[in-house]
Structure 1
Amino acid sequence: MSTSSSEALEAQKRAAAEAAAEEVQDGMLVGLGTGSTVAYLLPALAARKLKDIRCVATSDATERIGIELGLAVEPFDALDHLDLAIDGADQIAPDGWVVKGGGGAHTREKVVAAAADRFVVIADETKVVESISAPIPLELLSFGLPATLAALVPTVVRDGAPPSPDGGVIADYGGDLSDVAAVATLLSTTPGVVDHGLFPPELTSAVIVAHGDGRIERRIY
């Protein structure tokens, strides 16, 4: 990717993140995702200087940066729900399916998304796809790992990937995705799978996509 193309993508990520930051209001309980697009959300949110917002983070990196920026980030054990969660995505399909987990935090990201009244996905235009394709990130238990991998052929442990924030093994499922819902069910019901990176349409409230021509597209679900 050329420098100009890279800069254009970063500008799109920033634009989507800044648009999403405007969704946060005083007093909200907010879930903060993980990744390169969320990296632009954190300073945008801090710059708004909202009153009495409380945040939870899906990764140590997001928590650390958020605190450094002055956001009130606390462990996700004192709250039983969130008003809003904002996170990035690896793939966004027209039917609302979303793939997450490039950074290996998808289990926490799904827990936070499910706990929120509204889950908003932010992305640059390259994350919009015609249909979901492999690989699909997985978090697996280390116990019985060979048996879990054998049950999910073709699945491979991600080379050089650190453990998930909760110590799980990060792997990628490379099978056929022509029926995404069926694959999601397979992954969810296979013993040894902590969680997978397929986020169903009903989990997402809105998608904010920034385009290269300056448009901010909002898809409401």
Structure 2
Amino acid sequence: MSVTSDLTVIMKQEVGKAAAAKVKSDSVVGLGTGSTTAYAIEYIGERLRSGDLKNIVGITTSFQGEVLARKYNIPLTTLDVVDHIDIAIDGADEVDPQKNLIKGGGAAHTQEKLVDSLAAQFIVVVDSNKLVDKLGSTFLLPVEVIPKAVMPVMRRLEQLGGKPELRMGIRKAGPVVTDQGNLVIDVKFDSIDDPATLEMTINNIPGVLENGLFVGVADLILVGEIIDGKAVVREF
């Protein structure tokens, strides 16, 4: 492992730790998906084990989060049982200056949006290369669709100016299947000038379950950076 990749791991750990430090006892916590969020889940587990944190329950946004929460002995509940979420911690694939996001690199954006939108405080954990001037600059927009609707939805996305592609599995024959049993279309837009309108327009296409635009949901962005050979976390 190179020094840079070592530092990248340390940076992700520091961002995860900074997010975990914001969790208070007696709270319901949304536990997101992704490599940086995984460290936050680990550190929440450590705080529970040490007694620094008491009486919390987690709600996960993916099977990955569920596995990690059980590994670190974080009690879990569901949205059927609780009537609120105090804080949610999750990653993002892109963050713009208005704190709007593109999420869905892990194909969990439907459950993520459900949990993150319900949270009184939604904290996003990212490294600085996820910061962009405009959404869609570096990352394709994921759209979750029911399997029967793939072709009609792709045609409609083309009419909206997008270049859609069905996400295929890695080390799996065929397409990626979400935790809900649906498929994901990744869409390249040359420019997403109005994320709020595009989010609603895509979600109104019959057969679309949810897309990866998160507009006006994030409260706090914790950004990890490597400055002068050190891992640093700043709030944005």
User: Which interval holds the TM-score relative to the shorter structure?
Assistant: over 0.9
How many angstroms apart in 1 are the aligned matches of 2:196 and 2:79?
29
Alignment RMSD: 1.5
Aligned to 1:105: 108
Secondary structure of the structure 2 residue equivalent to 1:80: coil
Deviation of the 1:98 alpha carbon? 0.8
Query: Corresponding residue for 2:183?
Result: 169
Report matched runs for 1:1-221 at 5 Å. 3-49=2-48, 50-133=53-136, 134-153=139-158, 154-160=163-169, 161-179=175-193, 180-200=195-215, 202-213=216-227, 214-219=231-236
Task: Report the CA distance between 1:72 and its aligned residue.
Answer: 0.5
Q: What is the number of equivalent residue pairs in this alignment?
A: 217
| Cα separation, 2, equivalents of 1:52 and 1:132 | 38
Aligned equivalents of 1:30, 1:145: Cα separation in 2? 34
Q: Secondary structure at the match of 2:147?
A: coil
Deviation at 1:103, TM superposition (A): 0.3
CA displacement at 1:43 relative to structure 2: 1.2
1:74-127 Cα deviation digits (max 9, x unpaired): 233211320000001111111211111000000000000111111110011111
How big is each residue's C-alpha offset from its partner over 1:153-207, in whole Å with a ceiling of 9 and x where there is no partner? 221110124311111111111123241333223212211111111111x211100
The range that moved more, 167-176 or 82-91, is: 167-176
Give yes or no for contact 2:123–2:221 (8 Å, CA) kept in 1.
yes
Question: Counterpart of 1:191 in structure 2: which amino acid?
Answer: P
State the Cα distance separating 1:18 from its structure 2 match. Answer: 0.3
User: Contact 1:12 / 1:125 at 8 angstroms: preserved in 2?
Assistant: no
Partner letter of residue 194 of structure 1? L
The residue identity in structure 1 corresponding to 2:168 is D
Identity %: 31
Within 2, Cα distance between the matches of 1:79 and 1:178?
Answer: 35
What are structure 2's unaligned runs of at least 5 residues? 170-174
Aligned equivalents of 1:18, 1:144: Cα separation in 2 = 41
TM-score, with normalisation over the residues of structure 2? 0.87
Whole-angstrom distance in 2 between the partners of 1:209 and 1:109: 19
Q: Which runs of 4+ in 1 moved over 6 A?
A: none
| Residue ranges of structure 1 left out of the alignment (5+ in a row) | none
- Give TM-score, length-normalised by structure 1: 0.93
Cα distance in 2, alignment partners of residues 31 and 217 from structure 1 = 22
